Amino acid sequence: MSEASTKADGRIPLVVAAEPPRAQRSGLVLILTDDSAPPPGYAIVRHADAAAVAQEGHCPCCRTPSDLVTTLRQLFLERVRGETAFSGIVIEGGDAIAAQIAADPLLAARYAILQG
């Protein structure tokens, strides 16, 4: 995760990794999508379910946001309000999680998905 990506377009760096590594620098948030123990070194650790809930009779864009989407939105708001400080986010997961984040207009505008 490079600081340059944050400065270039203003979005927060976000990496989706099948197995989150030990944090190599301070100020990173780790979001776990299961009950596993986090590797050491992360400033903030949150747990979130990655599954979106389909509402009967609604199209995919009207789904109830997953815990993961809600957590990412909340982290952004906390950062803007000065309630928390972090330089990037690592999420435990795979391509489906990255696609879910990229498909959400608010998250896509606020987070830059980087290669893990």
- Domain around 7: 3-51+59-114
pTM over 0.85: no
Predicted pLDDT of residue 7: 47
The per-residue pLDDT for range 7-19, each reduced to its tens digit, is 478 899 999 999 8
Q: How many domains, the chain?
A: 1
| Alpha helices (runs of H) in the chain, residue ranges in sequence order | 3-9, 67-80, 95-103, 105-110
Residue 81 to residues 55, 59, 74: CA-CA distances in angstroms? 32, 33, 11
pLDDT < 50 positions in the chain: 2-5, 7
Predicted pLDDT of residue 26: 85
CA angle 96-98-100, nearest 5°? 70
Predicted pLDDT of residue 115: 75
Predicted pLDDT of residue 63: 64
Predicted pLDDT of residue 21: 87
Predicted pLDDT of residue 29: 94
Predicted pLDDT of residue 62: 64
Partners of 29 in the β-ladder: 44, 89
